[in-house]
Amino acid sequence: MRGRSYLLTSLLILLLPPYAGAAQDAARRDSAPQDSVPRTDAAGTAAGADAAGTAAAGADAAKSVVIYVVRRGWHMDVGFAAGDLQPPLNAVVGQFPGVRYLFFGFGDQRYLLAKDSSAPGSLAALWPGRGMILATGLASSPQDAFGTAHVVALSVTQKQARDTQAFVWHSLENGIKPYATGPYEGSLFFAATPRYSAVHTCNTWVAESLRAAALPIHSGGVIFAGQLWSQVRRLEKKQSAHGLSGAGAQLPNGAAQLYRFADQRHGGWVPSWHTTVVPPF
């Protein structure tokens, strides 16, 4: 019996040290700071990608872009600096050599292409029909072309500008292929995918383009220019109060007087003759 006890004790002495050492090594690994272990697993890669995406989103949000809204009598346009146009809408710039700003407006095809914009033609536009986009290129500032009092500049992020531009692009039925020459120098007609009617006017379309950028603008029930103009002016004042005005450098007071010399045709204010860029048709 005493011999068996001695044998068991000897075996325990031989076997316990390896397990004890393994347990101590495991304990040391468990207690080691996690930051000292390189992360090469999928979770670490995903975390790095998320961090990069967050940083990119932050940089995108920090960049300010201006969306211009112009009132041309009863009609309104939305526009951008040519350098701020992003794909695919920036391809339209090729149709306007030397352009600095590009504006887009929506209208009724029958009325816009009519040689005589008479009262019967205006009434016909109230019935649902094909729409048309009128693009206007400017070689000088929107304030110079339309008059400072008729231009609202809204400060937005890159993403918001991209969303509004995507809305405009999807409104062009044939992409960058013009439908016809425009009614004045520096303008082109493009076939439109939306339909025009008494309840979906040029002003409704511009309101929808701003809604696409998640701006606090409502488009439901917007038919007349005044209904949208009051909204964008209110938003511009709110941005100015928070130091986010996108108006940029203000023109001298006398520059606004250029507006008085603009020709008044085609259901809205035609830009000053010297601001458009495409040679006369």
* Residue range 84-109, pLDDT digits in tens: 999 999 999 999 999 999 999 999 98
Nearest to 131 by CA among 164, 161, 109: 109
For residues 151 and 232, give the distance between their C-alpha atoms in angstroms, rounded to a whole number. 10
Judged against a pLDDT cut of 80, whether residue 228 lies above it is answered with: yes
pTM of the model: 0.69
| pLDDT on residue 225 | 95
Summarize pLDDT for 234-272 with one digit per residue, the tens.
999 999 988 765 544 333 333 333 333 333 333 345 676
Angle formed at CA 108 by CA 232 and CA 164, multiple of 5 degrees = 40
Could you tell me which residue, 31 or 218, shows the higher pLDDT?
218
Secondary structure of residue 151 in the 3-state scheme = strand
3-state secondary structure (DSSP) of residue 194: strand
Lowest mean pLDDT among 20-24, 48-52, 59-63, 238-242: 20-24
pLDDT at 227 > cutoff 90? yes
| pLDDT of 201 above 90 | yes
pLDDT value at 5 more than 80? no
Average pLDDT, the chain: 74
Which candidate, 167, 163, 254, 246, places its Cα nearest to that of 206?
167
Highest mean pLDDT among 44-48, 58-62, 222-226: 222-226
d(CA 181, CA 202) in angstroms, rounded, equals 19
